[in-house]
């Protein structure tokens, strides 16, 4: 009795599935549209005769898989792009038809001759897990909208004409397991963020124009295949995880740093490090790695002795030792045709004693080995550089007394703005320092107290006898002028006091012996000892600010800049504020440490260097007209780092990151959060995050006139703080209670 019933149920189920498996009308139409746009390729000819597309038998060139009446897999494999697509082919129309398949999980469009940039609406294929568009003529950057494919596991772009860099934001696709960008026109260096793709199994970047240091990949525990062949990576061997199966570094610029641990990569089957500039001893233990089958070290400068009785892994099938500086005798396990193995081994161009392949005389390898075993270039230089290039200020030519009187008078005349007085109240009064005091504070300007230097100035760290930490900027004056020439500037400096600025405590003047003028000015500043804002946002280690503290920090920076603009007349603009120059005090309040000090601007021309480094567009006139907006741009860059939690070091990155934010603002809450610093992405309320992103993007507008005013920024940041408060019910005790609006 039970049996027929069960059968009945199964049968019903089958019929139901079958019925609902009929492809939806909209998807049917899209498929026909795609057929038309591709110019009726033979791969799709079955569409002309099939009654139900979901029933079409898969072939090597066309496979369709449906579920519940929707296409979940689509594979179209062309014939090397032949016949070619019509002249009026539109990649946009093509993708517009494609994105109708909203349940699509797997998409292969291979060898179809598709050309043009991948359109942004690829981001609508939100279910996509595998995307393979190999062997087409796609060009342009890898589109940012790929970021919206939250389920993407495999991204294969091999054999196309993609340009630009390997995008750093790939690291925010949480499930990526395969990245393959072989044979494209990608350039630049790799983003460090690749080192955080925990699930990555395959990384193939061969045949591109990539260069520089390969980021540390040792944390990628699942990585099995790394192929970087035919690029310009180097010179240091990358940090790698132990479970690698295939490692190909062939034809790059690697030279040094093969780690001993390589000898413990027990799963390694293929190791190809040929055609690089590797120097140093070859480790024969590589021959006996337990899984090794393929070893190519040819075309390097490996040295060392091989012995006949060295052992090899029994499965080893291919060894190429050609063109190195090896001496001794080929291990018998590598002699082809020996009964021990059926290995194919090449070893010409060394100095081995075997004579069936062409060898150099032993002296040749000996001499070359001596030549390459000197310390790799660069390392030696660095060491010398660190010590001797640091100039101690000459201290012979000093008389200090003349100045004290002048300065005291000057300061008594100075009219400080009331707010300056209020905010600077906790600071000791501005004063003149004696050089002896500064020497004592810095152990006679010991190099260990040097924090940084430019061509005309050094920054030292010190501690006064009363225990106060100070920073001393030592400025060498280009022109010898009298103290009076600096009175105005020093007076101004003495007034720049604000709780979000590192303020000057005083100064000390160094005179020429013949009294012909001032040769050096020491400016003494308060010192905020708890590192920089960057340390608390994007440094690899250490305590990180929470979302509320980050908004508070941004407000602090904006207030500091507002004071520079409006707290005195004339205002101080173009401060070139960088996150690494924003210091943190004991209470994690921010203090801007490097602003456009009048003396510095005059002496070393900071202003002009700012123009070239932070102005994307605009004439000199524009520059002057919107002088307050350059600092706004710099605030934008700091906001970027605060939101993303990654260092923004290069000017050219900013554009791409701004686009990233712009796209994220229009996507949903989850998408938006996914690009945010993982440390805070769960804490921030969506409205707060969106507000921060929007103000950041506005600050980074190319045209200064489009950037918000500093007051606008403050309003917006405080709004972001409030909605965060409401959203989380947190009390934002880290924001000062007096965040009064301007
Ligand atoms: C392309 O041109 C053909 C005729 O050459 C025309 O039939 C077709 O509609 C055009 N396609 C598009 C997308 O404009
Ligand atoms: C991409 O698809 C083509 C055609 O199916 C296949 O030959 C190729 O191996 C795929 N590439 C990767 C990296 O999976
Ligand atoms: C792709 O790039 C190659 C090499 O730069 C170039 O020769 C070729 O014309 C490009 N093809 C297309 C369709 O852009
Ligand atoms: C071995 O390496 C040399 C130098 O890189 C190369 O010329 C030769 O073709 C290689 N042999 C094989 C069989 O790959
Ligand atoms: C290999 O041979 C060398 C001399 O040719 C000898 O000193 C060494 O002990 C041998 N090693 C093994 C493991 O047999
Ligand atoms: C700031 O630095 C001081 C001294 O280095 C340290 O004792 C204190 O814990 C730090 N405070 C914070 C909040 O990191």
- For ligand 1, is residue 90 a contact (CB within 6 Å)? yes
Write the pLDDT tens digit of every residue in 581-617. 899 988 889 999 888 877 765 554 333 333 333 334 4
295-299, 333-337, 620-624, 723-727 — which one is most confidently predicted on average?
A: 295-299
Rounded to the nearest angstrom, the distance between the alpha carbon of 94 and the centre of ligand 1 is: 13
Is it the case that residue 642 has pLDDT exceeding 50? yes
- Which residues, judged by CB distance below 6 Å to any ligand atom, belong to the binding site of ligand 3? 115, 137, 139, 161, 185
Q: Output the pLDDT for position 602.
A: 58
Q: Output the pLDDT for position 21.
A: 60
Look up residue 282 and give its two tokens. Answer: 């070859």
Cα–Cα nearest to 544, from 554, 533, 555, 552:
533
Report percent pLDDT > 70 for the chain. 82
Q: How do strand 469-481 and strand 457-463 relate by DSSP bridges?
A: antiparallel
Is it the case that residue 484 has pLDDT exceeding 60? yes
Atom of ligand 1 nearest to the CA of 93: 13
Look up residue 64 and give its two tokens. Answer: 């369709």
Ligand closest to the CA atom of residue 284: 5
C-beta separation of 53 from 26 below 8 A: no
Atom of ligand 5 nearest to the CA of 311: 13
Write the pLDDT tens digit of every residue in 498-553. 999 998 999 998 887 776 788 889 999 998 878 899 999 988 778 899 999 999 99
Rounded to the nearest angstrom, the distance between the alpha carbon of 317 and the centre of ligand 4 is: 15
- Please tell me whether residue 707 adopts helix, strand or coil conformation: coil
Look up residue 135 and give its two tokens. Answer: 């062997």
- Which residues, judged by CB distance below 6 Å to any ligand atom, belong to the binding site of ligand 5? 307, 309
Select the more confidently predicted residue: 81 or 718: 718
Give the gyration radius of the chain's Cα atoms: 33
Comparing 30-44, 582-596, 646-660, the range with the smallest average pLDDT is 646-660
Atom of ligand 3 nearest to the CA of 115: 13
Ligand closest to the CA atom of residue 469: 6
Among protein residues, the one whose CA lies closest to atom 10 of ligand 1 = 88
Peptide bond between residue 204 and the one before it cis (omega within 30 degrees of 0)? no
Q: Looking at the chain, how many residues does it have? A: 742
CA distances from 547 to 544, 685, 686 (A): 10, 9, 12
C-beta separation of 227 from 200 below 8 A: no
- For ligand 6, is residue 542 a contact (CB within 6 Å)? no
pLDDT, average across residues 182-191:
94
Tell me the C-alpha distance between 181 and 210, whole Å.
11
Rounded to the nearest angstrom, the distance between the alpha carbon of 166 and the centre of ligand 3 is: 19
Q: Output the pLDDT for position 13.
A: 40
Report percent pLDDT > 90 for the chain. 46
C-beta separation of 179 from 200 below 8 A: yes
Probe residue for ligand 5, chosen from 284, 285, 307 as the CB with the greatest number of ligand atoms within 8 Å = 307
Look up residue 174 and give its two tokens. Answer: 């949480």
Please state the three-class secondary structure of 356-404 as a single string: CCCCCCHHHHHHHHHHHCCCCCCHHHHHHHHHHCCCCCCCCCCCCHHHH
CA count, 13 A, side-chain hemisphere, 574: 20
Write the pLDDT tens digit of every residue in 354-393. 877 889 988 888 877 766 544 333 333 333 232 333 333 3
Residue 346's DSSP bridge partners are: 320
Q: Output the pLDDT for position 129.
A: 95
- For ligand 4, is residue 462 a contact (CB within 6 Å)? no
Is it the case that residue 661 has pLDDT exceeding 80? yes
pTM for the full model? 0.61
Atom of ligand 2 nearest to the CA of 202: 13
Select the more confidently predicted residue: 206 or 26: 206
Q: Output the pLDDT for position 624.
A: 61
- For ligand 4, is residue 322 a contact (CB within 6 Å)? yes
C-beta separation of 600 from 457 below 8 A: yes
Atom of ligand 5 nearest to the CA of 309: 1
Cα–Cα nearest to 108, from 132, 87, 126, 91:
132
Exposed/middle/buried for 622, CB within 10 Å: 0-12, 13-18, 19+? middle
Write the pLDDT tens digit of every residue in 106-129. 999 999 999 999 988 898 898 999
Exposed/middle/buried for 82, CB within 10 Å: 0-12, 13-18, 19+? exposed
Tell me the C-alpha distance between 677 and 193, whole Å.
12
Look up residue 222 and give its two tokens. Answer: 């699942």
Look up residue 549 and give its two tokens. Answer: 């503290």
At 76, is the pLDDT very low, low, confident or very high (cuts 50, 70, 90)?
very high
Q: Is 383 left (phi over 0), alpha (psi -120 to 50) or beta?
A: alpha
Domains of the chain (ranges plus CATH)? 271-399 (no CATH), 408-527 (3.30.200.20), 533-742 (1.10.510.10)
Q: Output the pLDDT for position 187.
A: 94
Q: What letter would DSSP give residue 54?
A: G
Ligand closest to the CA atom of residue 37: 1
Peptide bond between residue 570 and the one before it cis (omega within 30 degrees of 0)? yes
Q: Output the pLDDT for position 478.
A: 79
Rounded to the nearest angstrom, the distance between the alpha carbon of 296 and the centre of ligand 4 is: 8
DSSP string, 257-297: ---GGGGG-TT--EEE--SS--EEE--GGGGG-TT--EEE-
Q: Output the pLDDT for position 417.
A: 29
Tell me the C-alpha distance between 534 and 587, whole Å.
16
pLDDT, average across residues 420-433:
63
Rounded to the nearest angstrom, the distance between the alpha carbon of 338 and the centre of ligand 4 is: 21
Tell me the C-alpha distance between 177 and 452, whole Å.
42
- For ligand 4, is residue 603 a contact (CB within 6 Å)? no
- For ligand 2, is residue 561 a contact (CB within 6 Å)? no
Is it the case that residue 716 has pLDDT exceeding 70? yes
pLDDT, average across residues 289-294:
95
- For ligand 2, is residue 77 a contact (CB within 6 Å)? yes
At 23, is the pLDDT very low, low, confident or very high (cuts 50, 70, 90)?
confident
- For ligand 1, is residue 92 a contact (CB within 6 Å)? no
Is it the case that residue 248 has pLDDT exceeding 80? yes
At 96, is the pLDDT very low, low, confident or very high (cuts 50, 70, 90)?
very high
Produce one character per residue of 698-735: b if its CB has 16 or more CB atoms within 10 Å, e if not. bbbbeebeebbebeebbbbbbbbbbbbbebeeeebebb
Ligand closest to the CA atom of residue 344: 4
Probe residue for ligand 2, chosen from 156, 206, 227 as the CB with the greatest number of ligand atoms within 8 Å = 156
- Please tell me whether residue 219 adopts helix, strand or coil conformation: coil
Atom of ligand 4 nearest to the CA of 323: 4
pLDDT, average across residues 473-480:
84
Q: Output the pLDDT for position 694.
A: 96
Peptide bond between residue 626 and the one before it cis (omega within 30 degrees of 0)? no
What's the CA dihedral at 127, 130, 133, 135 to 10 degrees? Answer: -170
Ligand closest to the CA atom of residue 288: 5
Look up residue 547 and give its two tokens. Answer: 């979302």
At 339, is the pLDDT very low, low, confident or very high (cuts 50, 70, 90)?
low
* Residue 627, C-beta contacts closer than 8 angstroms, at least 6 positions apart: 573, 574
């Amino acid at each position: 009795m039970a049996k027929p019933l069960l059968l009945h149920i199964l049968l019903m189920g089958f019929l139901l599935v079958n019925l609902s498996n009929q492809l939806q009308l909209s998807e049917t139409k899209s498929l026909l549209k795609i057929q038309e746009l591709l110019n009726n390729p033979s791969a799709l000819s079955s569409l002309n005769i099939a009654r139900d597309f979901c029933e079409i038998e898969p072939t090597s060139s066309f496979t369709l898989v449906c579920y519940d009446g929707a296409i979940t897999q689509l594979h179209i494999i062309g014939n090397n792009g032949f016949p070619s697509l019509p002249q009026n082919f539109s990649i946009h129309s093509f993708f517009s038809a494609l994105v109708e398949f909203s349940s699509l999980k797997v998409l292969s469009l291979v060898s179809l001759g598709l050309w043009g940039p991948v359109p942004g609406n690829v981001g609508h294929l939100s279910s996509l897990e595998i995307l393979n568009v190999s062997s087409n003529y796609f060009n342009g950057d890898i589109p940012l909208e790929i970021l919206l494919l939250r389920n993407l596991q495999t991204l294969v772009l091999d054999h196309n004409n993609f340009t630009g860099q390997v995008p750093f934001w790939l690291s925010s696709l949480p499930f990526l397991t395969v990245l393959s960008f072989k044979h494209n026109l990608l350039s630049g260096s790799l983003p460090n963020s690749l080192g955080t793709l925990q699930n990555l199994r395959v990384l193939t970047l061969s045949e591109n124009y990539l260069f520089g240091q390969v980021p540390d990949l040792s944390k990628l525990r699942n990585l099995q295949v790394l192929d970087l062949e035919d690029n310009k990576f180097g010179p240091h061997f990358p940090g790698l995880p132990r479970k690698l199966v295939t490692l190909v570094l062939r034809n790059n610029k690697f030279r040094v740093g093969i780690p001993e641990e390589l000898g413990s990569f027990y799963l390694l089957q293929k190791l190809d490090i040929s055609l690089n500039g590797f120097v140093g001893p070859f480790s024969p233990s590589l021959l006996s790695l337990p899984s090794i089958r393929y070893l190519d070290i040819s075309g390097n400068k490996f040295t060392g002795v091989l012995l006949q009785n060295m052992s090899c892994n029994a499965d080893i099938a291919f060894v190429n030792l050609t063109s190195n500086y090896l001496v001794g005798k080929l291990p018998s396990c590598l002699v082809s045709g020996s009964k021990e193995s059926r290995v194919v081994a090449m070893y010409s161009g060394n100095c081995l004693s075997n004579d069936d392949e062409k060898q150099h005389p032993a002296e040749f390898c000996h001499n070359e080995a001596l030549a390459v075993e000197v310390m790799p270039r660069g390392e030696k230089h660095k060491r010398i550089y660190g010590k001797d290039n640091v100039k101690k200020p000459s201290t012979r030519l000093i008389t200090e007394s003349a100045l004290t009187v002048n300065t005291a008078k000057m300061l008594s005349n100075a009219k400080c703005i009331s707010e300056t007085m209020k905010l600077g109240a906790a600071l000791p009064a501005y004063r003149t320092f004696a050089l002896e005091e500064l020497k004592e504070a810095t152990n006679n300007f010991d190099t260990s107290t040097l924090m940084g230097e430019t061509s005309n100035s050094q920054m030292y760290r010190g501690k006064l006898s009363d225990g106060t930490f100070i920073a001393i900027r030592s400025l060498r004056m280009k022109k010898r002028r009298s103290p009076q020439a600096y009175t105005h500037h020093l007076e101004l400096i003495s007034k720049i006091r604000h709780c979000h600025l590192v303020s000057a405590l005083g100064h000390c003047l160094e005179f020429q012996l013949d009294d012909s003028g001032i040769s050096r000015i020491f400016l003494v500043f308060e010192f905020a000892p708890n590192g920089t804002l960057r340390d608390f946002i994007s440094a690899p280690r250490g305590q990180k600010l929470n979302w509320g503290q980050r908004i508070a920090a941004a407000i602090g920076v904006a207030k500091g800049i507002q004071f520079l603009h409006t707290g005195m007349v004339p205002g101080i603009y173009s401060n070139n504020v960088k996150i690494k120059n924003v210091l943190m005090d004991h209470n994690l309040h921010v203090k801007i440490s490097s602003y456009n000090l009048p003396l510095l601007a005059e002496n070393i021309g900071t202003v002009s260097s700012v123009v070239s480094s932070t102005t994307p567009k605009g004439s000199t006139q524009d520059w002057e007209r919107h002088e307050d907006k350059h600092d706004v741009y710099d605030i934008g860059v700091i906001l970027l780092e605060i939101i993303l939690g990654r260092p923004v070091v290069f000017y050219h990155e900013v554009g791409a990151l701004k686009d990233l934010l712009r796209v994220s603002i229009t996507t949903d809450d989850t998408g938006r959060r996914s690009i945010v610093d993982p440390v805070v992405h769960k804490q921030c309320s969506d409205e707060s995050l969106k507000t921060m992103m929007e103000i950041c993007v506005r600050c980074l507008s190319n045209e200064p006139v489009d950037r918000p005013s500093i007051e606008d920024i403050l309003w917006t940041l405080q709004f972001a703080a409030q909605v965060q408060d409401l959203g989380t019910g947190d009390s934002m005790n880290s924001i000062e209670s007096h965040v009064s609006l301007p």
